[in-house]
Structure 1
Amino acid sequence: MTTAIVTGAGQGFGLALTAALSARGTTVIACARDAGRLRAATGPLPGVRALPGDVTDPAFRTELVAAAGPSLDLLVHNAGELGPSPLPPLERYPLDALRAVLETTVLAPLALTQLALPLLRASGRGTVVTLSSDAAVDAYAGWGGYGAAKAALDHLAAVLAVEEPGLRVHAFDPGDMRTAMHQRAFPGEDISDRPEPETVVPSLLRLLDERRPSGRYRAADLAQGVR
């Protein structure tokens, strides 16, 4: 029996991953800010404990790690913050909004990882997954705030992998998906051509099952069996 923490698990990719892990018999501590949505979404899933809260809150992070003990096999940093919608150019990017993006997408995952490291080490198979984006490596107009945060998160994952060779640390780029966040990035546009999150989850499960070396992986490559 394995234990996982999945942040941002109330909808989208986080919920799809939580459901897939539950189906495998994994005990999942699922967190999200919207308590009602989180409980409604995860209530039917066996082995899932819904723990509503904000990962930017230090007290909640402590509660989250305590709920997973005495060991933790998988920590998935899925919670993130898009920033203003419509996406503004850097010339007009509100600095307070950028602080909020960095707080949720970079600082909170690092703080949560710091708390969880003793449990991950104790597991013997501890794995940390950070959700990346092509905006972390490619320059798109309007995506400066979000992309900068994801690039920083990618680098934190890469350094953590060097510092913690006993763990697997993966930055996982799921590609475009049909999610509420993605819709906010393109207000008023039809994004129905994007794949559903459930179709991307198998790529991450393959990464976890094959125990590939720490590093950055794209879902599209994993789906095609690229190493």
Structure 2
Amino acid sequence: MSIPDLTNRIALVTGASRGIGYQIAKQMAAAGAHVIAVARTVGGLEDLDDEIKEERARTGKGEATLVPLDLADMQGIDRLGGAINDRWGKLDILVANAGVLGTISPVGHVEAKVFEKVMNINVTSTWRLIRSVDPLLRKSDAGRAILLSSAAAHSARAFWAPYAASKAAVEAMARSWADEAKTFSLRVNSVDPGRTRTAMRAQAVPGEDPLTLPHPSEVAARIVPLADPALERTGEIYQAQPDRWVRYQMPA
């Protein structure tokens, strides 16, 4: 899939200060979108803004609005939807990328505060974000929602229980949302980005050589096409591979 033309589209990207979210935001801006970049780390957002401004100076495409926000701030998420409505009156693209790993541990050894944080950030804040922007996406002529998932949701490997459970919940929520919205112009899909050279991957697999993994920019280039206004598929789960997309076969 090639990068679509996103000229004049309004795109909200969470976790945009580093890794896959940073690269998705950068590539969407380069494709013409106005990116609302959300993250906790102000420095990373400022770096992103600098790159987007440099690209705009060269090509005339792309802009960014920076939103420093911890997704544990549920009322802040609510206010974000209201602010987008006041400024633009709609939202064209949502990329729910932000998430936390928690700990790799036997499920009975996971601390309650760790489990609760994983569920709060990965599941509850995603639901709160959906609730905040769903009306705005329905105002778009081609609303697109992309929710980041993980193979852990399906493999349910030992020691990954909290993270796996959280991503399975996100996928189920995305499919239900897609079914609710199928009579509208809104399309909702989940993406497993696969093994990627990110800080979270290094935390999960500390002995792995990062240079053997795809760079986040490569993975982002396979995710951005799901924001294409011409996309028709919805309620599906995609897995990024180096040379192709693999679509999970889901039950009817």
Question: Aligning the two structures, in what range does the TM-score lie when normalised by the shorter sequence?
Answer: over 0.9
Which residue, out of 5, 12, 37, partners 2:19?
12
Distance 1:180 1:24, change over 3 A: same
Structure 1 length-normalised TM: 0.92
CA RMSD after TM alignment: 1.7
Which residue, out of 233, 238, 242, partners 1:217?
238
Distance 1:170 1:225, change over 3 A: closer
Deviation at 1:36, TM superposition (A): 2.2
- Mapped partners of 1:137, 1:33: distance in 2: 29
CA offset digits 1:147-183 (Å, max 9, x no partner) = 1100000000011111111210000111010001111
Deviation at 1:217, TM superposition (A): 1.0
| Unpaired segments ≥5 residues, structure 1 | none
Q: Counterpart amino acid of 2:92?
A: D
Q: Any conservation in 2 of the 1:75–1:127 contact (CA below 8 Å)? A: yes
Distance 1:225 1:91, change over 3 A: closer
Q: Which residue of 1 aligns with 2:77?
A: 61
Q: Is 1:28 aligned to 2:35, yes or no?
A: yes
Deviation at 1:13, TM superposition (A): 0.1
Which residue, out of 193, 208, 218, partners 1:199?
218
Percentage identity across paired residues of the two chains: 36
Pairs within 5 Å for 1:109-128: 109-128=126-145
Q: Which secondary structure state, in structure 1, belongs to the residue aligned with residue 76 of structure 2?
A: helix
- Mapped partners of 1:58, 1:226: distance in 2: 34
Q: Which runs of 4+ in 1 moved over 6 A?
A: none
Q: Which residue of 2 aligns with 1:143?
A: 160
CA offset digits 1:94-128 (Å, max 9, x no partner) = 12211100100011011111111111110121111
Deviation at 1:53, TM superposition (A): 0.8
Distance 1:130 1:225, change over 3 A: closer
Q: Which residue of 2 aligns with 1:172?
A: 191
Q: Counterpart amino acid of 2:29?
A: S
- Mapped partners of 1:43, 1:66: distance in 2: 26
Q: Any conservation in 2 of the 1:132–1:150 contact (CA below 8 Å)? A: yes
Structure 2 length-normalised TM: 0.84
Deviation at 1:14, TM superposition (A): 0.2
Deviation at 1:220, TM superposition (A): 1.8
